[in-house]
Structure 1
Amino acid sequence: MPHPRPGPRNLITDVRGLTVGHATDEAVRSGVTALLCPEGWVGAVDVRGGGPGIRESDVLRPENNFSRAHAITLSGGSVFGLGAADGVTTALSAAGHGIRLAAGSPAIPIVPGAVLHDLGNGGDKAWGLDPPYRALGMAAVAAAGEDFALGAVGAGRGAMAGLHKGGVGSASLDLDDGLVVGALVAVNPVGSVYMPGGETFWAWPFEIDDEFGGQSSRKGAPDPSVRATDPVPDDSKLAALGRFNAGANTTLAVVATTAALTTAEATRLAMMAQDGLARAIRPVHTPFDGDVVFALSSGAVEIGEGPARSLTIAKLGSAAADTLARAIARGVYSAR
């Protein structure tokens, strides 16, 4: 069996049917990233941060009766950024995407979303009664395609990873037999993506093809004296930036797969993918973060039944965690 490799783009759009668009406001130093699956894919969500900012997450719970999404929106702007999903919803509806509950009614897209806090980054936030995020959401839909930029763009424009510039990252993994896993992430945690010394990513063991600087091939094993449990430092710089306030930080992620999953199985995929955050950020899921992972299933590949199905889901979850860890490092590497 061949060793799993990234898809041709090494982006979440290697899961066919997905497109991604960014819209960035350089004056505000913020932006929006929209991931589109306008036919409506099975969706799920797992929230583990202590200060999340989310929209329409409950519709993706397995106990509810329409656990599908037509898009996922990630945005800067804290609570103001939740308006980005309004723009994405409007644009998709105008294009005829969504459910219809009555003849002649507008299409109703389901657009869950999550936001990160970037209000203290020095951009012009004096928007008064007209925050830019709804317009940015519509612009992100218009810009969506299979290829997209990584780094300080879209939802990652104003992001910080600890004291370093954060950003948007993505990666994919082809598991063969049509099974593909992809990840998209906006990286804005209080924790560090770097090991002590600020050069080596915590995610270095998972790197493929020098995708974030070739650390796995250049550095070899890290210094054994480095403690893997280093806590958040009592750092005056982080405190001065307000990073020790609940909700001031977060990592927002989407994982997607070609496998045909139920909502409960997609929830398990999101839960397992959270381990990717722990592999790439130390510490994570803190009281200061709003960490959220969405999961999407295209339904393109059937995965059987019984114990073999459960084993496949376990493999998908493991791959999703590794792929998300790689996406986090790629986002910060591209931003810097």
Structure 2
Amino acid sequence: MTASALFPIPLTDVASLRFGHWTDAAAGTGCTVIVAPDGATGGVDVRGGAPASRETDLLRPENTVQQIHAVCLSGGSAFGLEAASGVARELEERGIGLDTGAALVPIVCSSCIFDLAFGDAAVRPDVAAGSAATVAALDGDQTAPLAEGSVGAGAGATVGKLNGPACAMKGGLGARAFSLGNLRVGAIAVVNACGNACDPATGATIAGMRTAPDAREIADMEDALFAAGAHAQMPLDRTNTTISCIVTNARLTKAEATKVAQMAADAYAHVIRPTHTTNDGDTVYVMATGELEGDQPPLDVIGLAATRALEAALVAGVSEATGSHGIPAARDFA
């Protein structure tokens, strides 16, 4: 399959999913929610060494819950996991969740980025923020393109942090989708990587570690790590994470959704250099609604399409970001 076989489509055309943001631009944080009102088969792949997550064990193929109702991507580090409770509360009020007999229990998976050092560390996405993002998803206009860049969970994202925040650049949230016949696959990515972000088609660096706090030149961070050798260390450990969600109308089992997540995670290595470090909590979720009609491509084709969608979303996350809080974005140097 060549890249030309994939046709770009709006993320909101992938399946009967709903998308919403909550953003506090002044504090430099936010959260983003993907809701499956009728449930979706979930999968996950966690490769980073410092994840902040909720309900990832539930997605293991051998565990009994078969569908999830939302994925919440959030800022706020571990504090931001509270936003998922707001998502669950809003879904319960609307009659969305797993019927346990005693109550409806919405199954909400969540991962967070560390953005506490970007804006106001005292402001984190909380229950009210998660509820607000869910309201935006369920009641908002889904015909308009989903906002990208420094919004939602991408509000406080940064990249290129080997030499500390003074030399970093702005990351953000990207959303891209493709169709291949009746198959539709999309991705939302929040790029808050330790490494630099590159264009996988050309290898050119888009955003990353600048050579000095007032410089416009971006250094090769992998070369810088090699040069530092035994003296290489992060100014703030465990403060980076790229979190993503693949969405598709494909018919997948939990094991197949997990395999798609594993394949799509290769997009991180194609765009972020270096990636999956001990200071990153890199995570990829999959939500498959099973709405595809007719013949379905083989699993490897679905996984490859997911990889391409995630590559495009990762690139968009940094190219659509806007500079703020003293941190420049790629568009500032265009």
Fold match, TM over 0.5? yes
Cα deviation digits, residues 208-242 of structure 1 (max 9, x gap): xxxx9xxxxxxxxxxxxx9896464779xxx9xx9
TM superposition score normalised by structure 2: 0.81
Deviation at 1:245, TM superposition (A): 3.9
Match of residue 301 from structure 2: 315
The one-letter code sitting in structure 1 at the alignment partner of 2:88 is T
Q: 1:1-336 alignment to 2 at 5 Å?
A: 3-9=4-10, 11=11, 13-102=12-101, 105-123=102-120, 125-126=121-122, 132-144=125-137, 145=140, 146=142, 147-162=145-160, 163-176=168-181, 178-193=182-197, 201-205=198-202, 230=223, 232=225, 243-301=234-292, 312-336=298-322
The one-letter code sitting in structure 2 at the alignment partner of 1:151 is G
Cα deviation digits, residues 124-153 of structure 1 (max 9, x gap): x335xxx54211101101111533200000
Distance 1:234 1:82, change over 3 A: farther
Q: Secondary structure at the match of 1:259?
A: coil
Gaps of 5+ in 2: 161-167, 207-218, 323-334
Deviation at 1:63, TM superposition (A): 0.4
Deviation at 1:8, TM superposition (A): 3.2
CA distance in structure 1 between the aligned counterparts of 2:64 and 2:30, rounded to whole angstroms: 32
Distance 1:303 1:59, change over 3 A: farther
Q: Which runs of 4+ in 1 moved over 3 A?
A: 5-8, 204-207, 226-235, 242-246
CA distance in structure 2 between the aligned counterparts of 1:232 and 1:314, rounded to whole angstroms: 34
2:59–2:254: 8 Å Cα contact kept in structure 1?
yes
Instruction: State the number of aligned residues.
Output: 293
Deviation at 1:202, TM superposition (A): 2.7
Distance 1:141 1:121, change over 3 A: same
The one-letter code sitting in structure 1 at the alignment partner of 2:171 is G
CA distance in structure 1 between the aligned counterparts of 2:276 and 2:226, rounded to whole angstroms: 16
1:185–1:331: 8 Å Cα contact kept in structure 2?
yes
CA distance in structure 1 between the aligned counterparts of 2:156 and 2:258, rounded to whole angstroms: 29
The one-letter code sitting in structure 1 at the alignment partner of 2:320 is S
2:9–2:178: 8 Å Cα contact kept in structure 1?
no
Q: Secondary structure at the match of 1:300?
A: coil
TM superposition score normalised by structure 1: 0.80
CA distance in structure 2 between the aligned counterparts of 1:154 and 1:274, rounded to whole angstroms: 22
Deviation at 1:28, TM superposition (A): 2.1
Q: Secondary structure at the match of 1:264?
A: helix
Distance 1:324 1:121, change over 3 A: same
2:119–2:156: 8 Å Cα contact kept in structure 1?
no
Deviation at 1:287, TM superposition (A): 0.5
1:47–1:292: 8 Å Cα contact kept in structure 2?
yes
CA distance in structure 2 between the aligned counterparts of 1:140 and 1:232, rounded to whole angstroms: 38
CA distance in structure 2 between the aligned counterparts of 1:313 and 1:273, rounded to whole angstroms: 12
2:9–2:179: 8 Å Cα contact kept in structure 1?
no
Gaps of 5+ in 1: 194-200, 213-225
Deviation at 1:99, TM superposition (A): 1.3
CA distance in structure 2 between the aligned counterparts of 1:95 and 1:21, rounded to whole angstroms: 16
CA distance in structure 2 between the aligned counterparts of 1:189 and 1:22, rounded to whole angstroms: 21
Deviation at 1:88, TM superposition (A): 0.4
**RMSD of the alignment, in Å?**
2.6
Distance 1:139 1:206, change over 3 A: farther
1:206–1:322: 8 Å Cα contact kept in structure 2?
no
